[in-house]
Structure 1
């Protein structure tokens, strides 16, 4: 089947697309992280333990992951922009429903459903950028999209606590609903689907055909395996940071949250410098340098005698290194199957969130066997090795020669 792909776009012509999809990513990640600061408040309101309320994050992430294999073919068949706007409208309705939850079970169920809807925004947006941006510009465009997405993630964690303290936790979900609705309207009013896009009708057979196209690329399995490994190594640490810092320095969760936020700051720095980094380093060197920077950040955090506030700088370094590596994987994943790009990116996101779920389990076992410093150093060595090996086992499209 011959598919007519759109002509390459310029950076200026892509600006409205990046801004609007960035607003969508902002709304999605705002919703993703807003429960974290509310855990003690919700535990008190519903008479539950901290661990039970924290489990809502697992429900959200698990639903996000399992929804991906279904959302990818939907986006490839009905259109990426239509899928994003529909998921954002559903996200708005579910967030509003969460504000009226009368029980802990109801809120948990709504959050699980919210994870599925949120999963139809960011991976599909990346696929849409892949459709319109030529490979030479793609990682730069994805970096700019990433900045707005990270700001949303940080805002969700930072603003929800302030809103809850002054207005109440239910108002946090109302704010999230408003953001999702506005982002959906922007997609409908500003962006237009590609008129020449070739789409197969939505069916189980066509969905399998799309995934067959994705896995026909010999690089697919390797990229997904690398992303699962990357996700488990980078996301294994955050759930234990507060406990480690409390044990070392006696600081509370608010300051621990500030330290973890350093990862987002590192991501923003990456987003601002993406073009320079791509031009100066190239994808192969970006994965290697990213792995080494993450290894350095982890290794410094493993030193127990350093003051707690120094950890913020280590996590900025860690976040910058992560997005050097992950941004490269994202750009490569958009090219696995150009005619089934949403399906390819859906499985990419599913792989990342599988690593997200696996990482804390591995870190918990390592902490039990090796102690804090030993476990963190083990993760440092592993992520550094991943960065070193990636360009040697995976040919990276667009690499400098």
Structure 2
């Protein structure tokens, strides 16, 4: 496969396995944190004497902070070292989770969740950027797929974990458990940093203001292409996928818990990709992954729109998980190479564009779903995502090595 220009310093072929595992654990906690509060809203409304709608502001505060403050962490990681910033972020996120567990009002909880989003948002983009700094390009996509194990499992289990532990022990223990996971990851990362300082140093090139670094990345035509594609991917995919649970409820009469099952089916598809990613990367190459992933997304969303039974739609959701990560993991790999001298800033910009795409895609799709149901937005995704994936595959072919 064609690879972009090499990073400023020689990279080892393999990063230490323990570092990948610990970064994946931190990613698990961060991904679970994104959706863990959803099944707790009824308990929170009862605890604080507010409506469920009012309680949901705590979830919104986390997502807002998680999407915006990543822009701050990226340049920090370039300047002070990505792994140390991730380790500090884990400890800070743990403290914020403890603060959430001690909340005595919805206002307190909202502030604590906002701060959790501020700190937690550093973990996944900087971990991916660290892989870019420490793994040669030829092995990077397979290594990122292994790292994605934690993120995918967190996405799969976050909502279910929140509901189960909330019912069993109460909502406060959900945040306490997340705090424990963050502490384990953070303390262990500090131990790795002490044992292997060579893999934890800063690039030494992430200088200048945050805005200046972002502008510098966007001045590169290929970087602009990558972030544009990931924004469109995020908007189209999540703008449609968000309504899978509602569609299962409206068309097939399933309970609202189907949303959690749909997320689990998507995560299971993503985990299946993780298991076979090294083989797929070797056999298909980057352009093949884009084409087959895009084709799979088209088939999956068309099947969701036409599904005669809930079982068919769940199978389509699982297929969408495999296909999404085939395309998205390729985009992530190129995200790590947009600006090798400032990978933290580049991955922060990558994450922000994905977040902005989601933030636009869902409200655009919502009135369509309200009026005509989910199948029209499924059809839109079935058409646009394959076109997007095939166009990016062609752009990879035309781009100079």
**TM surpasses 0.5:** yes
Counterpart of 1:181 in structure 2 is 183
SS of 1:73's partner is: helix
Counterpart of 2:204 in structure 1 is 199
Counterpart of 1:77 in structure 2 is 79
Alpha carbons 1:259, 1:311 under 8 Å: kept: no
* 2-structure distance, mates of 1:254, 1:183: 30
- Pick aligned residue for 2:338 from 325, 336, 339: 336
Counterpart of 2:296 in structure 1 is 293
2:254 equivalent to 1:225 = no
Counterpart of 2:18 in structure 1 is 16
Farther off after superposition, 271-280 or 211-220: 211-220
Give 1:41 deviation, angstroms. Answer: 2.1
Are the structure 2 counterparts of residues 42 and 126 from structure 1 closer, same or farther at C-alpha, using a change threshold of 3 Å?
A: same
Report the RMSD for the aligned CA atoms in angstroms.
2.3
* 2-structure distance, mates of 1:348, 1:308: 34
Aligned ranges for residues 96-115 of structure 1 at < 5 Å?
A: 96-115=98-117
* 2-structure distance, mates of 1:355, 1:134: 29
Give 1:163 deviation, angstroms. Answer: 1.0
2:387 equivalent to 1:385 = yes
Farther off after superposition, 17-26 or 326-335: 17-26
1:280-302 CA distances to partner (integer Å, 9 max, x unpaired)?
11111211211111121111111
Give 1:379 deviation, angstroms. Answer: 2.0
Counterpart of 1:42 in structure 2 is 44
1:244-271 CA distances to partner (integer Å, 9 max, x unpaired)?
2221122112233112211111111111
Are the structure 2 counterparts of residues 201 and 398 from structure 1 closer, same or farther at C-alpha, using a change threshold of 3 Å?
A: closer
Counterpart of 2:166 in structure 1 is 164
* 2-structure distance, mates of 1:98, 1:393: 45
1:286-335 CA distances to partner (integer Å, 9 max, x unpaired)?
1121111112111111125x221332211110011110110000000101
SS of 2:221's partner is: coil
Aligned ranges for residues 2-401 of structure 1 at < 5 Å?
A: 5-11=8-14, 13-191=15-193, 192-194=196-198, 197-199=202-204, 205-303=208-306, 306-368=308-370, 370-395=372-397
* 2-structure distance, mates of 1:68, 1:256: 27
SS of 1:251's partner is: coil
* 2-structure distance, mates of 1:4, 1:337: 8
* 2-structure distance, mates of 1:366, 1:395: 36
Farther off after superposition, 84-93 or 212-221: 212-221
Alpha carbons 1:79, 1:193 under 8 Å: kept: no
Give 1:123 deviation, angstroms. Answer: 0.2
Give 1:375 deviation, angstroms. Answer: 2.5
* 1-structure distance, mates of 2:124, 2:279: 24
Are the structure 2 counterparts of residues 395 and 55 from structure 1 closer, same or farther at C-alpha, using a change threshold of 3 Å?
A: farther
Farther off after superposition, 340-349 or 244-253: 244-253
Unaligned runs of 5+ in 1: none
Report the number of matched residues. Answer: 393
SS of 2:69's partner is: helix
SS of 2:30's partner is: helix
Farther off after superposition, 16-25 or 364-373: 364-373
Are the structure 2 counterparts of residues 190 and 398 from structure 1 closer, same or farther at C-alpha, using a change threshold of 3 Å?
A: farther
Are the structure 2 counterparts of residues 396 and 186 from structure 1 closer, same or farther at C-alpha, using a change threshold of 3 Å?
A: farther
Farther off after superposition, 17-26 or 178-187: 17-26
1:13-32 CA distances to partner (integer Å, 9 max, x unpaired)?
53122112111111211222
* 2-structure distance, mates of 1:216, 1:194: 31
